[in-house]
Structure 1
């Protein structure tokens, strides 16, 4: 498949390497003979391919993302593929200055200003905003079918009770906005002290912004109070920010719960560390 795509896109390749930490697609970094780097991306399903295609169309010129150089709509053996330009830099880490967190806030807020396009039919990116509570419940109880096979009955029952209790305390939903659904450091590219943009759009929706802060807080903002403060300042320089103190506990709880179900689906052995981390978090939340 890789060689077929290289030929299909007419690439003069010098070297190819796998891109790690991609959970919903296969990604290759191709260094061309002219020294330029491009990326070949093959989503796991046709729906993910369609979402990605529409995301590039919706976000182009509005948010900092790679350029979609070419795409292929696939066949019976492959759901499709993309040829993407390189965003200069590396994934975000906690070894940065608060000024970078400010830029991350600007980036996310800019994305959240994107509304469902009028007069354009989208078949991949669903608009879940009008039924957001049901969408969250569907995700939670979908993963619950896997969680119940991993945790003890008492913990599972307490988690269900916690979910039903906490969801009643949420403020009004904020949207409809373009939400990434996987806005985490691995998908935010920085070049030195400058944010280059964001990547990976297989899971995007139009929905409530509240869901997009969870993974960023888990993997970045929570490590330094200065990050948290600078991020909020950056975000509010573009659009109003919801009450994170009210929203984050609920979404952090369901992130831990859903991550246990995700680990079960993707394989307990190879995701053992991630599973144990989220089991510990879930126990803290409910016990």
Structure 2
């Protein structure tokens, strides 16, 4: 979505502007203003994502390290809205992180999970899915299944659905209700050296069970280094108890691979070809298939 109207509505005086690549549910620009300040202009894809992110900033402000919400525009009939955000002066987390940083990621994650639905406040964007958590997970799975069916061979699809039905029966009671990011991955965790500066991107957040929130962090970061995984768990446990990840991660890693294939079809197979291939490989591996 072109940013010109948002820039005009927000009265931004911009010198330079570059689109951020690794943003999947919003269009994000890193901008340098006339006064030399760096800010981010974020334009969600839908009005719901705008409302969800706006409420997330209200809920998390002063509780979790996040960018400052400097200004926003609520949009109109054609435009979902836009945010002006301060810059966290670091870079995304990588697998080269130190044990200290991994420990702090655990602290950050657990602190977020201490946030519960606000009493007496009606939320429009951030849904509380916890009371019907198993239904929420199932609806997500079978919604994406309609897309997966168009991408994979029939035998693989049937085996995946059969495995899902078998695995879901062994999932323990959900842990919550807690604020869950739903996209807690290295690209959304900003660090500087050994220090974790905060997290970004809240267009997918919910109140729900913590168990889903470890999936992408494990997929993209924790699984590669047992030492960092141990440091993360120590940091998390310093704030709140940690669920048995060995029990829940196999189920959520499986549903993540399956759902991600459906996501790629929705967002464009050609544009997301590498991510699609990675998840097809993951799904086949989790189903004990090769090739």
Indicate the TM-score class for this superposition, using the shorter chain for normalisation: over 0.9
Please state how far the C-alpha of 1:164 moved relative to its aligned partner: 0.7
1:49-86: per-residue Cα shift (whole Å, max 9, x none)? Answer: 00000000000000000010111110122111111111
Aligned to 2:82: 81
Matches within 5 A, 1:7-46: 7-46=8-47
Aligned to 2:182: 181
Aligned to 2:123: 122
Aligned to 1:205: 206
Aligned to 1:194: 195
Please state how far the C-alpha of 1:7 moved relative to its aligned partner: 3.0
CA distance in structure 2 between the aligned counterparts of 1:177 and 1:201, rounded to whole angstroms? 14
Q: Is the 8 A contact 2:102 2:229 kept in 1?
A: yes
Aligned to 2:216: 215
CA distance in structure 2 between the aligned counterparts of 1:96 and 1:231, rounded to whole angstroms? 11
CA distance in structure 1 between the aligned counterparts of 2:174 and 2:5, rounded to whole angstroms? 45
1:209-261: per-residue Cα shift (whole Å, max 9, x none)? Answer: 00000000000001111111000000000000000000100000000000111
Please state how far the C-alpha of 1:274 moved relative to its aligned partner: 1.2
CA distance in structure 2 between the aligned counterparts of 1:145 and 1:3, rounded to whole angstroms? 36
Please state how far the C-alpha of 1:34 moved relative to its aligned partner: 2.2
Matches within 5 A, 1:103-252: 103-252=104-253
SS of 1:169's partner is coil
SS of 2:144's partner is helix
SS of 1:175's partner is coil
CA distance in structure 2 between the aligned counterparts of 1:64 and 1:131, rounded to whole angstroms? 29
- Matched length: 287
Q: Could you list the runs of 5+ residues in structure 2 that have no partner in the other structure? A: none
SS of 1:28's partner is strand
CA distance in structure 2 between the aligned counterparts of 1:265 and 1:78, rounded to whole angstroms? 21
Please state how far the C-alpha of 1:24 moved relative to its aligned partner: 0.5
Please state how far the C-alpha of 1:183 moved relative to its aligned partner: 0.4
C-alpha RMSD of the superposition: 1.0
CA distance in structure 2 between the aligned counterparts of 1:176 and 1:142, rounded to whole angstroms? 23
CA distance in structure 2 between the aligned counterparts of 1:27 and 1:279, rounded to whole angstroms? 28
Q: Could you list the runs of 5+ residues in structure 1 that have no partner in the other structure? A: none
CA distance in structure 2 between the aligned counterparts of 1:4 and 1:263, rounded to whole angstroms? 29
1:257-286: per-residue Cα shift (whole Å, max 9, x none)? Answer: 001111111111121111111111111112
The answer as to 2:91 corresponding to 1:90 is yes
TM-score by length of 2: 0.97
SS of 2:270's partner is coil
| Dislocated runs of 4+, deviation >3 Å | none
